[in-house]
Amino acid sequence: MKITSAEIYPLSIPLIEPIKMSRENIVDAKTVLCCITDEHGRKGWGEASVAPLMTGETLDSLVGSIEYLIQGCMELDWKEPKDFTGLFNRVLYANASAKSCLEMALLDLYTQTLSVPLWQFLRSANNATKAELPTPIPLLRMLGGSLDKELNDAKVFSELGFRHWKIKIGSLSLDEDLHRVKVLSDALAGDVISVDANCALSLVDAIRFCESEEASKLTFAEQLVSTELSVGDFALLKNKSPIPICLDESIHGISEIKRFIDADVFGGASLKLTKTGGVIQALSCANFLHAGNFKLNLACKVAETSLSAAATASLGFALGAVDWGFSMSNQYLRFDICDEPLKARHGHLDVAQLASSGVGITPNLDRVKEVIAKGYAAIQC
């Protein structure tokens, strides 16, 4: 399988409403799609989103890295997915997000040639029974805005079947966040409830937060402190906290996972394809976590389209269990780039929504072209 041509699409898609995080306020989804064509005329699609505070990628840097990677990979022969990472590394150092974008497109092509969906290919690679259909994946819903709005949204989405929640903290005072967390935890008692500070808390405040009565009903707390803190600081937080600690920004691949497991600093991790370098590496990370009885959250960056959601969901279907839920972020987009966007059904995503071969979602090219970011254009390779 060889890449004969490619197109790159830098996109900007408005959100239904702004999402306020501790260190940024997101009003639109800046994401990049690539479409590669093989020697038989088949097309494969990939996606990766910008994340300046997580991967360091801006729209300019991500587009540039993807274009460079694709041009360097045009002469290579793509036979086995297990070899993709090594081939990428021959062309470009690091740049996990660009590699995840191209890997997704290659896997889309590869599984189309096998006439199987990506999730089934990954399940087979994980030695799951082929005839066994995966159970639906629980979707995690973010809460934000005023407390009244959060309570109303919690009620609405609870009635739609959601049972996994994320409360963003760190942009208000600690006392205000503790009050919000208590009120929402009481309203959602019995559900899987988490908070995410996106590195915003000091170590002292993080320990106070976790030890507080207001936070006692939480299932886990995600990335409370900066990635710049020492391993000893992370260990202190984990030892002081009665709440399981989840790491996100601190985890980019299996090397960090191994190091943090050895240091005993967390109870689980959040995996994103843009951090690990793609689906295959993310599967290795997830299996390593499961082998050590650690919990797992799967997530798309805010906000990616149904394409990235399908690839990430395929990983979840391959694993068979995502205890801390799946953050499928296309649900926050004002509109998607495909004719039939992935949707929650009773708070879950079922495998029936994915196509019978490939990643599972094929973008509508007209829709893609409509949301090309202002000042940018599609790139032909």
Predicted pLDDT of residue 126: 84
d(CA 60, CA 13): 16
Residues 92-146: tens digit of each pLDDT = 999 999 999 999 999 999 999 999 999 999 999 887 666 578 999 999 999 999 9
Predicted pLDDT of residue 128: 67
Taking residues 159-175, report their average pLDDT. 97
| 25-38 vs 43-49, strand pairing mode | antiparallel
195, pLDDT greater than 60: yes
Q: Which fold has domain 3-116+363-380?
A: Enolase-like; domain 1 (3.30.390)
Residues 349-380: tens digit of each pLDDT = 999 999 999 999 999 999 999 999 999 999 99
24, pLDDT greater than 90: no
165, pLDDT greater than 80: yes
Look at the pTM and tell me if it is higher than 0.85: yes
Domain extent listing, the chain: 3-116+363-380, 124-353
| 164-168 vs 140-143, strand pairing mode | parallel
Residues 222-255: tens digit of each pLDDT = 999 999 999 999 999 999 999 999 999 999 999 9
Burial 351-377 (b: 16+ CB within 10 A, else e): bebbeebbbbbbbebebbeebebeebe
- Tell me the average pLDDT of the chain: 96
d(CA 280, CA 82): 7
124-353 shares the fold of 3-116+363-380? no
Predicted pLDDT of residue 130: 60
Residues 273-312: tens digit of each pLDDT = 999 999 999 999 999 999 999 999 999 998 899 999 999 9
Give me the architecture of the 124-353 domain, per CATH.
Alpha-Beta Barrel (3.20)
